[in-house]
A and B are shown apart, each in its own frame.
Chain A
């Protein structure tokens, strides 16, 4: 196997090698996809996708959640095989059987969710799986040299000997990019790379991408954030419902509005909340919540109030205390200090079950981990979290008829697409699973709802549904705490916006006036440091 390590080499040099990685055929086209169809249970994820990516360009693929972008990327990266259609990489038709094949042809993928080992260094993470060795011993010096070379070349400023757990999100992403480049990728696929970044980090990422292209690499960039796409892409392909609906050769010729209309057809869903329904009745009152884990204050003196009819949004870069806050309110993480009152009742020491019976609803961020029993029928899932209350039980017994009736109601009113309530939860698509969870929580008429990333990873239809449902519940007087990484969702739905940074609440903002950039600077601690720094240093010294 020839190496693709010669990152800066000219295409012509590769062509001489004549191997699978060579730029034979049309050197100007890096990737060409024709008529790709991929069916999944319940959906046709890709239904005739065409895509032509010029070499040495940044090519954006835009589409709503669930339009089929990620599936297309998985096909390009060899994680899934298309049911129909052809794929050419550098003019040569390919049939990837696994990501290995794709990597061998110089196609690399940077996943939306980082796949890094926290307890290893950058260097160790990068070489993991393709360690250079001399007589069976890993040659770290050689690898370190290569990594430094690559990060200098592309302006990916990362110290190879730093532990990954000490890196911020933006840096971790650069490590992921390094990993791919290290394996000789000439075509980089980035799946929603900006989803986890704050605006400042997005700019840095885009600089790196431009550097990559100026060094003759090709970048395929998936996103549903149109402003970003217009800022960075050389060409844009728009996908809707699994089909290519537009190919934009010159992004300066279109506006974000044009793209949005191509993406969703005519109807443009927004998370915006219209008139205020906030009342004066405080449903949830949390004071001085503090959690200490492993000697670290992961939640530090957090106080917040959620009133009836109010949605309080919590913004923050992941890992700044969101899951601790959620655990404190739900009762799964013990408090070091603080007091929680629900509808005037002290629930600080109450176990989870008592809280749920007292009316705490919960939409988990990871539905498979925290929200569903995948092998169990839908009606068995609709009662999860409510299995001590009617209509699901009658005394000691499960009330099958009641449970099934309620499940039918959830399915009907919350538009859960399913052949029936006896199929296992795993048979549903992510969006329908989520609608089931949202429906079961809201129909249980909670007093206070914790919604953690309620629209993460679901399709656009389901997303609009969930937003509507949350707004309806708010209008009916529900007090909601919304934890999300989607700034548009936060700004659009919240009546009050709080920012968590380093386990503390560092800002209370008015969603009507705040801009994403402003929010981003609070989330990265830029504002917080000015104010909190002196206090913190005093306290720690």
Chain B
């Protein structure tokens, strides 16, 4: 299949999903007695101010990381529903650990990241070990582990890790010294002559980490032996087994990796903004990450778009409120777009597969006898 064709198929599904979603939300907004065009205009105007853009990017960064964490598992049909628990536990412990030391910035930042990844990996690893040794379905175990993680986190926080006698009324961990902060990535936008708002709206430095992570994820998956084993396991576990992949080891390694990446989710805001853990630590990103991964079909670019879209929807609900429309419309949009995307992807994938078979046949007719052509680029499976 030609690369332009491939791109067309890749883009068709999300575009269809978006159009259908807009149609459905328009009906909902109409029913609620408002003008959908007004609503959309408000959402866009509200979000396209620089402050809005900064906020959307900052929301998208952890969502994207969550998407990658989920996607790693999905690549071999492991459903890590436990990203939520993994990152919240990892965030708490990393916040506390980061406040215990004051090393030079490079070491300090690395240390905090490492702690978060290790905690996330270990927590996810429990589900992996249970699956391999006791054949416990990872969906069930990770959901359970989420609940346990919330409980354990609360207990650790209240009994051990929160700051005693702090000045704030709200309980929090000790603030991480500034050597453990992540410098803002505003400069990335200022290159393009944008006058970033900075301060509390500064772009998280973790944006760079997220981009690197996306690249690393894709390169590992598509260009390394390990990635090949991982994809083979997901695409055809039987064939992977006979090709020499150890399925048990693969489950453990995948869960550890997925959990390690999940551990990063809470860090953009922790290291870029708050510098301590408190009860306002972001929640729900793990579940939204599942949606982002699905929406982006586990491809880094797709997931980046999905994360930005979700960030946009969240932020622009403020614009809806200004126009006197219920912000819950955004929740409806999120749900609808997920549903439409899943359906559209399935339909388009089938069409694309059929078209590929047809095209191979047609080219075979032309090319006979069997002259291999090199027109198409390396075939990355969808």
Q: Which residues of A contact B (CB under 8 A)?
A: 40-43, 330, 332, 351-357, 362, 364, 369-377, 379-380, 383-388, 393, 396-398, 400, 408, 411-412, 415-424, 426-428
Contact = CB atoms under 8 A, between A and B. Distances in A.
Interface of B: 1, 222-229, 231-232, 235-236, 238-239, 241-246, 353, 356-365, 367, 369-370, 372-379, 381-382
Nearest to B249: A351
B43 to A, nearest CB: 37
A387 B382 contact: no
A370 B240 CA distance: 8
6 contacts: A397-B223, A398-B225, A398-B228, A417-B370, A419-B360, A419-B372
A357 B238 contact: no
B223 A40 contact: no
A295 B377 CA distance: 52
Given A387-B229, A418-B372, A332 B381 contact: no
A466 B274 CA distance: 67
Contacts of B229: 387
A387 B225 contact: yes
B227 to A, nearest CB: 8
A330 B378 contact: no
B381 A424 contact: yes
A41 B245 contact: no
A384 B232 contact: yes
B238 A370 contact: yes
Contacts of B367: 419
Given A419-B367, A420-B373, A424-B381, A353 B245 contact: yes
A408 B227 CA distance: 23
A419 B373 contact: yes
Given A351-B246, A352-B242, A387-B229, A400 B381 contact: no
B224 A398 contact: yes
A374 to B, nearest CB: 7
Contacts of A362: 242
Contacts of B226: 396
A370 B246 contact: no
B358 A41 contact: yes
A90 B246 CA distance: 57
Nearest to B219: A397
Nearest to B1: A423
Contacts of A388: 225, 244
B360 A371 contact: no
A373 B242 CA distance: 12
Nearest to A421: B372
A190 B266 CA distance: 63
A352 B241 contact: yes
Contacts of A43: 361
Given A415-B370, A418-B364, A420-B374, A376 B379 contact: yes
Contacts of A353: 244-246
A372 B235 CA distance: 9
Nearest to B370: A417
Cβ-closest 9 pairs across A and B: A377-B379, A41-B361, A353-B244, A427-B360, A419-B363, A385-B243, A42-B361, A422-B376, A375-B381
